[in-house]
Structure formats: C-alpha cells, structure tokens
Amino acid sequence: MEYIPTAIPDVVLIKPRVLGDHRGFFMETFRQNEFEQYCGAVKFVQDNHSGSTQGALRGLHYQIKNTQGKLVRVIAGEVFDVAVDLRQGSKTFGKWVGIILSAENKNQLWVPEGFAHGYYVISEWAEFVYKATNYYSPEWERSLFWNDPAIGIQWPLINGEVPTISEKDAGAPKLADAETFPAG
C-alpha cells in the first residue's frame, strides 16, 4: 500500500496495491505494521457499514469525548469524503481536505481523532465502510454544519442541489459555535 499525506498531513490517503487477472482482483485493505509506521499506533474496536442514495450527505460528525479515528473506504459507488481539523492550536485548525473514494479506485482515507468527518454520495448508490478506534457514544457525538462558509468546503453537489441531510445535521452549529478539541 502507498500512504500519501494530504494537505493536512495527519489525514492520509491510502492507495492499495491491487492484483488482478481474468478472475477478478485481490488487495490488502489493512496491515497493522504498515499502518503504524505511516499513520500511528492505533487499535480499531468497531467496524461500520452504511448505504446511501445519491445526494445524501452524512456528517460532519465527531465525538468530543471517546474520540474516534476512522479508516474509511467505499465498497460500492462513489463519495466525496471530507475531514475538517477541529484541533485548537493546530496549524490547520478549521481547514478541510476532500478526497474522492470509490469502489473503482479502492482508496482509503485515515481520519485521525480530532477531526469532523463526513461524505457526500456522488453515485446513484454508495456503500461506505470504516474502522473506528473507539466505540460509538451517542452522548458525545457532535455535528458540524456541512456548509459553513468559514470552512468553505467545495462539495461537488449534483446539479448544485442542496444535499439530503438528517434533521440533526441540518441544525448543527457552525465552527464558531461548535465544540472543538483543546490544544495539546
């Protein structure tokens, strides 16, 4: 696998080595020793899988306590995946990176603790899977408003239409009012 730091170096694009022939393909999706070398020593405790229709936007989510790092990928369809740095004192606080993840490109993205994460479904249908470093804790889950102009995410919206979002995400605070992670 190839590990490529993004514009926010702690967020890492992971490109697998795909071996294919007339039967199909094979690839490794995770190797602990390499992951630790390029992304840090973490322990994954939960796997999640979601399916969403075109135009759905899930996020931007994070847990303020029981924080989660996420290793994300798409196994059907295509999404625009986003990480927003919420670590106070970070040189990239309030900045974002966005990557196209698809079943076709088979890429993964490492989103460490301290980031809000979300994705927008570009294809007619997408299935999204990820490993998390901590258990889901609804009492600590927070959302960041998906379209905060102070962050300026350039979502690739289909026909410029407002995405389909949950009621909770529609009422999420903007960065200026959101709970963030303390410096240090």
Question: Model confidence over 36-85: pLDDT tens digits?
Answer: 999 999 999 999 999 999 999 999 999 999 999 999 999 999 999 999 99
What is the rounded average pLDDT of the residues 4-8? 97
Q: Are the C-beta atoms of 86 and 181 separated by less than 8 Å?
A: yes
Could you tell me which residues come within 8 angstroms of residue 92 by beta carbon, excluding any fewer than 6 positions away? 7, 8, 85
pLDDT of 114 over the 80 cut: yes
Nearest alpha carbon to residue 174 among 146, 154, 138: 146
Partners of residue 25 on adjacent β-strands: 20
pLDDT of 129 over the 80 cut: yes
From 119, 130, 135, 136, active-site residue: 130
For domain 45-177, the question of CATH label 3.40.30.10 is answered with no
Task: Let me know if 61 is a catalytic residue.
Answer: yes
pLDDT of 183 over the 90 cut: no
pLDDT of 33 over the 70 cut: yes
From 61, 62, 117, 119, active-site residue: 61
Q: Give residue 64's pLDDT.
A: 97
Phi, psi (deg, nearest 5) at residue 54: -55, 135
Q: Are the C-beta atoms of 151 and 112 separated by less than 8 Å?
A: no
Counting every residue written for the chain, the total comes to 184
Name the average pLDDT for the chain.
Answer: 96
pLDDT of 184 over the 80 cut: no
Could you tell me which residues come within 8 angstroms of residue 150 by beta carbon, excluding any fewer than 6 positions away? 94, 174, 175, 176
pTM of the model: 0.95
Nearest alpha carbon to residue 117 among 5, 8, 3: 8
Task: Let me know if 3 is a catalytic residue.
Answer: no
Give me the amino acid identity at 146.
W
SS3 179: coil
DSSP string, 112-163: -TTEEEEEEE-SSEEEEEEEESS---GGGEEE--TT-TTT------GGGPPP
CA distance 105 to 124: 17
pLDDT of 162 over the 80 cut: yes
